[in-house]
Structure 1
Amino acid sequence: MSKLANDTRVFKINPEIDVQNVRFENRYGYILAGHLYLPKDSKDGEKYQAIAITGPFGAVKEQSSGLYAQTLAERGFVTLAFDQSMTGESSGRRRNVGSPDIFVEDFSAAVDFLGKQKFVDREKIGILGICGLGSHALTAASIDVRIKAVATSVMYDMSDSMWKGLNNTKTEEEREKEKDYLAQIRWEDVDSGKQIGGYHELPFDKNGNPVRATKLLPNELPKDADPVTTEFYNYYVKRAYHPRSINSAMIWDATTPWGYYNFPLQQKIETIRAPKLIVTGAAAHSRYMAEEAYERLTEPKELVEVPNATHTDLYDQMDKIPFDKFGSFFKENMK
């Protein structure tokens, strides 16, 4: 049984599942770091269905995506949990930069990698995006017809969330101020020769000015923290802390919104040929994004709203994540 050297996964590890460190290259030359999970009781000479998994936005493969990968490997799939370009253990001289184009490409690069494995049936490869990577997964499936089934879990539309704000609350005046803020960040970056960290979803102070920060989540949660911040804090800082996770220990490059403003995600999701499964929590603050994407999708499609589940419940709560549903969806749709 292959084991990871310096294993830093933050979830309960199943020692019966074979997992290996892997590296693969995307179309832009970034080297992506992944954990390849082999099916329980896999046999030499057989070809298996495979699923590439990443997310949430700002997380690493040792967190939620690895838990999903391990659990679906227990259900008979070859699975690949990977870090997006410029994050985690993946390459990139500039670190923690979000890009709609590159992150979408990363899914197709993962399909490339899986399709080259002798134990994978390249006609039976699917993808699963968690949280903000859900919108990237749907975007990837819009063009890459090698993806035979696509699923999302508590998906965020990252472009809409950045440009419009959560629940579409950002004003036109705030958007104009944000353009000025990003312009200033670029000058500071080029003048200093150093990356400037900042929020990817820009908050504003009581005077209506953009807020700067050097860490996404605080070391200690303020008593007046809002419910969404509290939820993310409890996952990333408390129960699933990982030092390579942007959300746990760092912050995004402050220019991250730049690409998402100019090149929105999900522009052609109505054209996805593959079957679609959209899973969200009935109590998730992101639920409306999943419902909006689902309405735009064409058949075959399915929406599952897990009762009493919040957004981060579907990151790691084994009694709430519908793994049986994910498993049956991929199994039946990649025949």
Structure 2
Amino acid sequence: MSKGYIQELSNNVERIHVRYNNRYGIAIAGDLYMIKDIDKNKKYPAIIVGAPYGGVKEQGPSVYANELAQRGFVVLTFDQVFMGESGGEPRNVSSPDIFSESFSAAVDYLGVKIPYVDRERIGVIGICGSAGFALSAAQVDTRIKAIATASMYDMSVAARLGQNAEQIQNMKEALSLKRWEDAQNGCPEYLPGFPEEPFDEVPAGTPEPGAEWMRFYAVKRGHHSSARGGFTTTSSMAMMNYDLLTHIDEITPRPILFVIGNRAHSKFFSESAYEKANNPKEIYTVEDAEHIDLYDRTDRIPFDKFESFFKKNM
């Protein structure tokens, strides 16, 4: 298996490392997947796959890309800016605007730089936190023709989740004071949640949902040294002050597919977004699947559903 990738690359698939800039001039590192011996004189539909919040292209996106390339799509995965092999300083900073822009930058790259991609047939899959950013991009970028999410998280909602007004105010105060500290130190605080080297197993007594994240990111199943969990502490301020899905109803008439696991703790994010969106829209439930199962479990990820959705709608 190639270094860092959690998915063995099919003998029928070619993977090429690529780099391109977003509209801010920050370099984005990506992987382009396609069937081997592809006829580059033809035009093919393309799918952009975004990693979970804090994840990298070598994790869940490589699983999706490996399979979808075999089904006739050109697939682009990428590291978010400030993450993995992409540019941007300081590292591990997050921004709802810039992270959403990454999807439009991927559309730019596919439509301009890859001549065998049909720029009228470009779709997106957002896994976990990338789902919110993908939907946000699609609200304004009509070049994205179809959008699917897997185990969706809306990080702008998650930033305030489960807190009352007093708790939110206290968090704002703490984050504001942290900015003084960051400014004095000359760099923002980043506290990784996962080990540099993978555990053999999740430490006993780890509570949920933390234990679920550990079952993927902290053990050999999904561990990657560039995806150690979370972002700089004050990154939460940007998420608290932003609503990723304000205009989700304006994606229509382009279709949205929400894929959820029946045991996923995150189901309500997809259900809430589904209610806000206009038709055409669909929720598809995967049986016997928790949130992280839609990252990498090929016996759970409904690739037939994704294939039919994109081939019908692009």
Q: Please indicate, yes or no, whether the TM-score normalized by the shorter chain is above 0.5.
A: yes
Partner of 1:94: 90
Q: Which position in structure 1 is the counterpart of 2:184?
A: 191
Distance 2:251 2:192 in 1: 37
Secondary structure in 1 aligned to 2:145? strand
CA distance in 2, matches of 1:41, 1:297: 40
Is 1:11 the equivalent of 2:4? no
Query: Alpha-carbon deviations, 1:22-75, whole Å to 9, x = none?
Result: 001111111100000013552130110001111200000000011111111111
C-alpha deviation, 1:221, in angstroms: 4.0
Change (3 A) 1:9 1:222: closer
Give the alignment's TM-score, normalised by structure 1.
0.88
Query: Which whole-Å CA distance do the structure 1 matches of 2:289 and 2:89 have between them?
Result: 38
Partner of 1:206: none
In structure 1, what is the equivalent of residue 211 of structure 2? Answer: 230
Aligned counterparts of 2:312 and 2:25: Cα–Cα separation in 1: 34
For the 8 Å contact 2:188–2:234, the answer to whether it is kept is no
Q: Secondary structure at 1:22's aligned position in 2?
A: strand
Aligned equivalents of 1:75 and 1:40: distance in 2? 12
* Equivalent pair of 1:159/1:260 in contact (CA under 8 Å): yes
Q: Partner of 1:277: helix, strand, or coil?
A: strand
Distance, in Å, in 2 between the alignment partners of 1:278 and 1:194 is 38
Q: Report what 1:201 is aligned to.
A: none
Equivalent in the alignment of 2:245: 266
Contact 1:40 1:75 in 2 (8 A): no
Q: Report the counterpart of residue 56 of structure 2 in structure 1.
A: 60
**Match in the other structure for 1:202:** none
Q: 1:317 aligns with which of 292, 297, 300?
A: 297
Instruction: Give the alignment of 1:207-286 within 5 angstroms.
Output: 214-217=191-194, 221-238=202-219, 239-247=221-229, 251-273=230-252, 274-286=254-266
Q: By how many angstroms is 1:246 displaced?
A: 3.1
Instruction: Say which SS state the counterpart of residue 20 (structure 1) adopts.
Output: strand
Distance 2:271 2:37 in 1: 37
State the distance in 2 between where 1:227 and 1:297 align. 30
How much has 1:144 moved relative to structure 2? Answer: 0.4
Residue identity over aligned pairs, in percent, reads: 44
Counterpart among 268, 279, 282 of residue 299 in structure 1: 279
- Give the match for residue 209 of structure 1: none
The answer to whether the 8 A contact 1:53-1:82 is kept is yes
Amino acid at match of 1:158: M
Q: Which amino acid aligns with 2:268?
A: Y
1:35 aligns with 2:15: no
8 Å contact from structure 1 (residues 22, 33) kept in 2? yes
Rounded to whole Å, the distance in 2 between the matches of 1:215 and 1:288 is 26
SS of alignment partner, residue 329 of structure 1: helix
Q: Pairwise mapping of residues 67-146 of structure 1 onto structure 2 (< 5 A)?
A: 67-116=63-112, 117-146=114-143
Give the 4+ runs in structure 1 shifted more than 2 A.
Answer: 217-224
Q: How many angstroms apart in 2 are the aligned matches of 1:43 and 1:234? A: 40
How much is the aligned-residue C-alpha RMSD, in angstroms? 1.5
Alignment coverage as a number of residue pairs? 307
Q: Distance in 2 between matches of 1:14 and 1:227?
A: 34
CA distance in 1, matches of 2:73, 2:36: 8
Q: Does 1:173 align with 2:171?
A: no
Distance 1:265 1:15 in 2: 39
Query: Which residues of structure 2 form unaligned runs of 5+?
Result: none
Q: Aligned partners of 1:189, 1:174: CA distance in 2, in Å?
A: 22
Distance 1:122 1:143 in 2: 17
SS in 2 for 1:96: coil
Q: AA paired with 1:193?
A: G
- Report the Cα distance in structure 1 between the residues aligned to 2:24 and 2:37, rounded to whole angstroms: 36
List per-residue Cα deviations over 1:137-162 (Å, max 9, x = no partner): 11111110001101100000111111
Q: Give distance in 2, aligned partners of 1:50 and 1:76.
A: 9
Q: 2:150 aligns with which of 149, 153, 158?
A: 153
Give 1:48's aligned residue: 44
Deviation at 1:16, TM superposition (A): 2.0
Q: Secondary structure of the equivalent of 2:245?
A: coil
* Structure 2: distance between partners of 1:240 and 1:107: 23
One-letter code of the match for 2:177? Q
Q: Distance in 2 between matches of 1:112 and 1:215?
A: 32
Maintained 8 Å contact 1:11/1:240:
no
